């Protein structure tokens, strides 16, 4: 008699929904239940800054499926406003609270996926709960911020945090006419990148009217219902909106309380099949640890592309398949005003912190031949391991063509290529797209010549 699978998924965003869809493809007869404590499932949180700016007109445009649509099309039982409070590993059950009806019950499972995502870092500082202070992670966060902007019409915002979300939101708020100041505790924006790249981003922000206060930490907030005052280690600033963009932490409370081991990164430790150390219990997405292909070490990378892939792997295996996730090289891109910024692999400071002896080279080339209209400069930095000559990471910034090239670099890192191999890649050429010596190849050739 075939195994009757009862699959339970905790979390209804990227990893959870991908897992449910794949499990259904593999096993049409499995019982699949998704518990999501919020009201939205299957949405694109990475699109929220573009909703705030007005480039995405409706919040609904960020939703891939409503609970009703997913239930109907995938034959999956989707339960919103249902919070899983406890995992009982021994008896293979979860304890669930129906938040609308204040009802508690247990649900058994044969396979369980923990896809609880991550939450914004909100430090316990004075005034952090004042009206007009926001963090931005969920659809509910997006609606609250949009409504506040429409109702209160704030004129000046202070963003705390100079990472990807902070910069995307600085861009969005400037586009809708607000004054923006940005506070970052490190000496440069995008602290995981190297200075050759970040200084260009900083210049762009200042040229677009963003005040930058670098090397300053948030101490607290004050407010009187109309005005907010931000206190940093160096100054006080008045504003009428504060956005906290201090990064995220993996939501691992459920796993920790159930005795499911965490990894060295603080996220849930998983095997290549996305299974935890407990047989039959899987984890995927922003709460799960993975492996960095370049270093071979545990890595935590909270991004939707990774969550979708891990979720598909987990769904396949919970339904009886045997897929393995190879890991990540940490590829990431963002748009800051007119600039495209990309990184794959490690920056030089990250690589050195991991113990590599590095060599690097930075080039300033062009997106197209100079004679072709619209050519724009691209600044690129390539980092290599001196011992093996393998490429450890590539960073780049420019107004055109960065996203195309960072993907080529990511493929090279997946293949663990040396700088000598990258230097002779057969990349596409035509004047509208690239010079004869593409920027990636030019950078690799320069680094090769510097180190042979």
- The Cα–Cα gap between 158 and 89 comes to 45
* pTM greater than 0.85 (yes/no): yes
Q: What are phi and psi of 273, to 5 degrees?
A: -90, 10
pLDDT digits (tens, 9 = 90+) for 87-101: 999 999 999 999 999
- Work out the number of other CB atoms within 10 angstroms of the CB of residue 290: 25
pLDDT digits (tens, 9 = 90+) for 294-322: 999 999 999 999 999 999 999 999 999 99
pLDDT above 90: residue 121: yes
Tell me the domains of the chain and their CATH numbers.
Answer: 6-38+57-119+249-318 (3.50.50.60), 122-246 (3.50.50.60), 332-451 (3.50.50.60)
Best CA proximity match to 413, nearest among 302, 290, 330, 305: 330
Q: How far is CA 378 from CA 197, 405, 442, in A?
A: 10, 10, 11
Question: CA 400, CA 339: separation in Å to the nearest integer?
Answer: 8
pLDDT band at 338 (very low <50, low <70, confident <90, very high): very high
- Annotated catalytic residue within 13, 46, 239, 287: 46
Render pLDDT for 46-75 as a digit per residue (tens, 0 to 9): 999 999 999 999 989 999 999 999 999 999
Decide if pLDDT at 3 tops 80: no
Residue 2's pLDDT is 54
Kindly give the residue spans of alpha helices, DSSP state H, lying in 298-377.
304-318, 348-353
User: What is the CB-side half-sphere exposure of residue 236 using CA atoms within 13 A?
Assistant: 7
**b (16+ CB within 10 A) / e for 365-387:** bbbbeeeeeebeebbbbbbbbee
What is the structure's pLDDT at 226?
A: 81
DSSP class of residue 424 equals T
Contact (Cβ atoms closer than 8 angstroms) between residue 332 and residue 164? yes
Q: Is 46 labeled as catalytic in the residue annotation? A: yes
- pLDDT tens by residue, 254-302: 999 999 999 999 999 999 999 999 999 999 999 999 999 999 999 999 9
- How distant, in Å, are the alpha carbons of 2, 149, 182, 216 from that of 209? 64, 19, 11, 19
**How many Å apart are CA 414 and CA 345, to the nearest integer?**
9
Other beta carbons less than 10 A from residue 3's beta carbon: 11
Token code pair at residue 214: 């670098």
Q: Is the pLDDT of residue 392 over 80?
A: yes
Banded model confidence at residue 4, pLDDT cuts 50, 70, 90 = confident
Average pLDDT over residues 160-171: 97
- Alpha carbon distances (Å) from 26 to 21, 23, 62, 152, 322: 9, 5, 27, 50, 11
Using CA atoms, how far apart are residues 75 and 311, in angstroms rounded to an integer? 18
The DSSP letter of residue 298 is: E
What pLDDT score does 404 carry?
Answer: 84
Report the pLDDT value the prediction gives residue 1, as an integer from 0 to 100: 39
Residue from 170, 121, 211 nearest 337 by CA: 170
Pairing of strands 248-250, 241-244: unpaired
Higher pLDDT: 45 or 1? It is: 45
φ/ψ of 260, rounded to 5, equals: -85, 125
Check: CB of residue 186 under 8 Å from CB of residue 195: no
Q: Name the nearest CA neighbour of 365 among 354, 356, 351, 376.
A: 376
Mean pLDDT of 139-163: 96
**Do residues 255 and 114 make contact, with C-beta atoms less than 8 angstroms apart?**
yes
In the structure encoding, which two tokens stand for residue 219, read together? Answer: 């101490």
The whole-angstrom separation of Cα 46 and Cα 357 is: 35
Instruction: Please state the rounded mean pLDDT for residues 378-384.
Output: 98
Distance CA 178, CA 202 (A): 18
User: 3-state DSSP call for residue 313?
Assistant: helix
Torsion region of 220: left, alpha or beta (phi above 0 gives left; psi -120 to 50 gives alpha): left
């Amino acid at each position: 008699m075939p195994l009757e699978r009862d699959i339970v998924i905790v979390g209804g965003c990227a990893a959870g929904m991908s897992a449910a869809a794949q499990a259904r493809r593999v096993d049409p007869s499995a019982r699949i239940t998704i518990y999501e404590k919020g009201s939205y499932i299957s949405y694109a949180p990475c699109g929220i800054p573009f909703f705030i700016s007005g480039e995405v007109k409706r919040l609904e445009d960020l939703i891939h499926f409503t609970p009703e649509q997913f239930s109907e099309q995938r034959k999956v039982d989707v339960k919103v406003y249902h919070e899983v409070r406890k995992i009982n590993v021994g008896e293979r059950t979860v304890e669930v609270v129906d938040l609308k009806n204040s009802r508690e019950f247990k649900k058994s499972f044969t396979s369980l996926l923990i896809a609880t995502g991550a939450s914004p870092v909100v430090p316990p500082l004075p005034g952090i709960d004042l009206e007009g202070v926001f963090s931005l992670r969920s659809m509910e966060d997006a609606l609250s911020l949009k409504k506040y902007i429409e109702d209160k019409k704030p004129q000046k915002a202070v963003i705390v945090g100079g990472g990807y979300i902070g910069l995307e939101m600085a861009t969005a708020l400037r586009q809708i006419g607000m004054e923006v100041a940005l506070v970052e505790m490190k000496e440069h924006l995008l602290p995981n990148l190297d200075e050759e790249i970040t200084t260009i981003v900083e210049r762009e922000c200042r040229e677009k009217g963003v005040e930058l206060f670098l090397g300053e930490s948030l101490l607290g907030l004050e407010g009187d219902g109309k005005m907010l005052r931000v206190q940093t280690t160096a100054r006080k600033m008045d504003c009428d909106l504060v956005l906290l963009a201090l990064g995220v932490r993996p939501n691992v409370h459920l796993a920790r309380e159930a005795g499911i081991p965490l990894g060295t990164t603080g996220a849930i430790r998983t095997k290549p099949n996305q299974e935890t150390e407990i047989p039959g219990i899987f984890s995927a997405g922003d709460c799960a640890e993975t492996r960095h292909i370049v270093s071979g070490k545990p890595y935590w990378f909270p991004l939707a592309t990774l969550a979708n892939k891990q979720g598909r792997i987990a769904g396949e295996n919970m339904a009886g398949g045997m897929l393995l996730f190879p890991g990540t090289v940490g590829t990431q891109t963002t748009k800051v005003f007119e600039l495209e910024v990309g990184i794959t692999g490690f920056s030089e400071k990250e690589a050195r912190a991991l113990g590599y002896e590095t060599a690097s080279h930075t080039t300033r080339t062009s997106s197209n031949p100079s004679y072709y209209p619209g050519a724009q400069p691209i600044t690129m930095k390539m980092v290599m391991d001196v011992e093996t000559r393998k490429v450890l990471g590539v960073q780049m910034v420019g107004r055109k063509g960065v996203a195309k090239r960072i993907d080529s670099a990511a493929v090279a890192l997946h293949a663990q290529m040396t700088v000598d191999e990258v230097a002779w890649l057969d990349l596409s050429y035509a004047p509208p797209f690239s010079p004869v010596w593409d920027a990636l190849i030019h950078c690799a050739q320069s680094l090769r010549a510097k180190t042979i």
